[in-house]
């Protein structure tokens, strides 16, 4: 089964962030090329680019909020800040799923379904 374009856009947005924020890595570059080839064959490039930019923005915000937590700095942040970030990440992930589902709907793909999740009402 081929991967839906809505998933490709999400994964590609994360790869773009990795390219921008991490030292260059051959596997990341190869994956970017493969995903970009799949994206480039889509007819409505304006729609694709608009959604890709929105996904890069939301995934970038999630990355920023998770950064210090991933590095094990929750002691420096304090539990209140970690909790605040967790709630913001949840809300941003809800936006991410909404964007993916909007793309899936327009492209005639299956929507992502979350159960017992804040995004399940979208």
pLDDT of residue 73: 80
Cα–Cα dist 68/80, whole Å: 14
Place 122 in a pLDDT band, splitting at 50, 70 and 90: very low
pLDDT of residue 56: 98
**Mean per-residue pLDDT of the chain:** 89
Spans of all domains in the chain = 5-121
Convert the pLDDT of each residue in 9-49 to its tens digit: 999 999 999 999 998 889 999 999 999 999 999 888 999 99
Please spell the DSSP secondary structure of the chain, one letter per residue.
Answer: -PPPHHHHHHHHHHHHHHHHHS---HHHHHHHHHHHHHHHT-S-HHHHHHHHHHHHHHHHHHHHHHHHHHTT-HHHH-HHHHHHHHHHHHHHHHHHHHHHHHHHHHHTPPPP--SSSGGGG-
Would the pLDDT of 116 be above 70? no
């Amino acid at each position: 089964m081929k991967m839906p374009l809505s998933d490709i856009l999400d994964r590609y947005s994360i790869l773009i962030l990795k390219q921008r924020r991490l030292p260059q890595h051959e596997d990341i570059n190869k994956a970017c090329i493969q995903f970009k080839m799949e994206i480039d064959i889509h007819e409505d490039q304006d729609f694709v680019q608009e959604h890709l930019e929105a996904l890069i923005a939301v995934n970038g915000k999630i990355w920023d909020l998770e950064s210090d937590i991933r590095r094990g700095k929750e002691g420096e942040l304090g539990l209140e800040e970690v909790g605040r970030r967790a709630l913001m990440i949840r809300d941003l992930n809800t936006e991410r799923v909404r964007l993916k589902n909007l793309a899936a709907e327009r492209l005639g793909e299956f929507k992502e379904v979350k159960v017992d999740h804040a995004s399940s009402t979208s």
